[in-house]
Amino acid sequence: MSVRVLVTGGTGLVGQGIKYVIDTEPANSPFGKQDGEEWFFVGSSEADLRNAEQTKKLFEKYKPTHVIHLGALVGGLFINMKRKLDFLRDNMLINDNVLHNAHEFKCKKVISCLSTCVYPDKVEYPLDETKIHLGLPHESNFGYAHAKRLVDIQNRAYKDQYGDNFTSAIPTNVFGPHDNYDLESAHVLPALVHRCYLAKKNNTPFVVWGSGKPLRQFIYSRDLAKLFIWQLRNYDDVEPLILSVGEDEEVSIKEVADAVVKALGFKGEYKFDTSKADGQFRKPASNKKLLGLIKDTGFKFTPFDQALQESVEWFLQNYEKART
Ligand code: NDP
């Protein structure tokens, strides 16, 4: 039976991570391409998924049997605060068009991508798969958060009404090759890489905003890619699944900045601007459910320093074509 996997958002950070794993792991190995599988990685130039007609044409062209749906308007805190309606509306349209067509084209499986930043602002930690809807999201990103939460609601409605096999994944902070390094819209880790790079180039101080003390869980895009591939083949439940390193693998912003300084060989002045806000101190997510499910797969997370080094090398080699 032929398996045709359509990856929306296939040109982005996570999509390119999946492409890398599919292209480089040995055929028929646990995370490699299997006989009979075809993978299609598409970005917005192939179809604007906010547009119903273009989305339908995309499905007509690729006739997917399976979909990993990553396509989204994505960004860091600053841009989320500035464009709440765009984040709400674009993502609602994108998700509705993709899920509707996946249903119409009788896809056997869809995994859509949520995020731990769509969780309630006031919630008991650690986050787990049962807590997504237990309160309002943080004010700063409520557009993105509500749009993403609706995917889980839609998945349940498709299953309830039609028995569709639609589910979702919840990654924590992702980083890796093909990240968004644009200083206005980047997430914290690629922003630190870019700012340290500029400090080195211009011989200026590397200033990290805040105290550096907050803790976050970072997952390497190529590790996340393997988990998506595993989930596509093995996980048939509408309940979302957190894809993350463990709570004991939280890294402080200072540790990230130290690793960036080391990876870039930056020798100049390096300081913290404590007049800038720190954000939440920590918002740990539990990967207990995931670890229970993948324990026999041989999967291992890449050590943070190694993953960061690989990402920085990609950034340096691709500065001209990266999103900067
Ligand atoms: P990127 O910004 O790197 O990639 C976004 C992808 O979505 C690109 O392929 C882009 O296409 C595509 N896209 C955006 N708008 C449209 C549109 N209107 N029509 C079609 N395609 C569109 O994001 P990530 O790879 O980081 O994110 C992938 C998924 O992971 C998203 O759903 C995001 O919410 C989720 N996520 C990301 C996290 C992170 O830390 N980065 C954390 C948790 C979840 P193109 O570039 O060709 O325009």
Separation in Å, CA 290 to CA 70, 293, 300, 308: 19, 5, 12, 23
Ligand 1 centroid – CA 5 distance (Å): 17
- Closest C-alpha to ligand 1, atom 26: 13
Relative to the CA of 179, which ligand 1 atom is closest? 3
Reply yes or no: is the peptide bond before residue 126 cis, omega within 30 of 0: yes
Ligand 1 centroid – CA 277 distance (Å): 26
**Token pair 């026999």 is at which residue?**
296
What's the CA gap between 120 and 268, in Å, rounded?
40
Helix, strand, coil in percent for the chain, rounding step 5 = 45, 15, 40
Chain segment 202-242, per-residue pLDDT in tens: 999 999 988 999 999 999 999 999 999 999 999 999 999 99
50 CB within 6 A, ligand 1: yes
Pair 97, 113: CB distance under 8 Å? no
9 CB within 6 A, ligand 1: yes
Chain segment 182-212, per-residue pLDDT in tens: 988 888 999 999 999 999 999 999 999 889 9
Residue 129 CA to chain centroid, in angstroms? 16
Share of the chain above pLDDT 90, in %: 90
- Closest C-alpha to ligand 1, atom 13: 71
The candidate with the shortest Cα–Cα distance to 197, out of 143, 261, 242, is 261
Q: Which residue has the higher pLDDT, 283 or 147?
A: 147
Chain segment 46-80, per-residue pLDDT in tens: 999 999 999 999 999 999 999 999 999 998 777 88
Q: Is the pLDDT of residue 125 over 90?
A: yes
What's the CA gap between 115 and 144, in Å, rounded?
10
Average pLDDT, the chain: 95
Q: Which residue has the higher pLDDT, 79 or 105?
A: 105
Q: Which two tokens stand for residue 120?
A: 């309630």
Q: Where are the alpha helices (DSSP H) in 211-281?
A: 221-234, 253-264
Q: Which two tokens stand for residue 66?
A: 């399976």
Chain segment 15-46, per-residue pLDDT in tens: 999 999 999 999 999 999 999 999 999 999 99
The candidate with the shortest Cα–Cα distance to 165, out of 238, 226, 220, 234, is 238
Pair 186, 76: CB distance under 8 Å? yes
Structure confidence at residue 277 (pLDDT): 79
pTM of the model: 0.97
Chain segment 253-278, per-residue pLDDT in tens: 999 999 999 999 999 999 999 998 77
Structure confidence at residue 75 (pLDDT): 85
Q: What is this model's ipTM?
A: 0.99
Ligand 1 centroid – CA 163 distance (Å): 27
- Closest C-alpha to ligand 1, atom 31: 70
Structure confidence at residue 276 (pLDDT): 84
